[in-house]
Structure 1
Amino acid sequence: MTKSIPASSIANPHFGKSYAFNLNQAHEELQDLVERVTIELELMNVAKELER
């Protein structure tokens, strides 16, 4: 039986570190925030267009 490890895991210097779970969680939260801000900016742009 062979074990397959994705190349992204090998290249990731944080893989297997004790803080990796917290780092991944923070990354997910940051991604959520970026998405929310992006949507809010798009809504602001639409509102500005409607004012014209």
Structure 2
Amino acid sequence: MSQDFRDGETVAVIYFRVGYVPTDYPSKSEWKTRLLIEESSVIKCPSISYH
């Protein structure tokens, strides 16, 4: 994840290199982390619609 500040606002971007298939999430811990990311305001690349 990359984080920067623009005009006093925090900007964060996450780039997925994995996580495209359900087998990339072998336990509840990984699913909980993915949910945390999806519910956050971080900019996701690619977006969930591309997964």
Higher helix share: 1
Question: Which structure's residues are more often strand, by fraction?
Answer: 2
Question: Highest relative contact order (Cα 8 Å, sep 6+), 1 or 2?
Answer: 2
Q: Under a length normalisation based on structure 1, what TM-score does the superposition of the two structures give? A: 0.30
TM value normalised by structure 2: 0.31
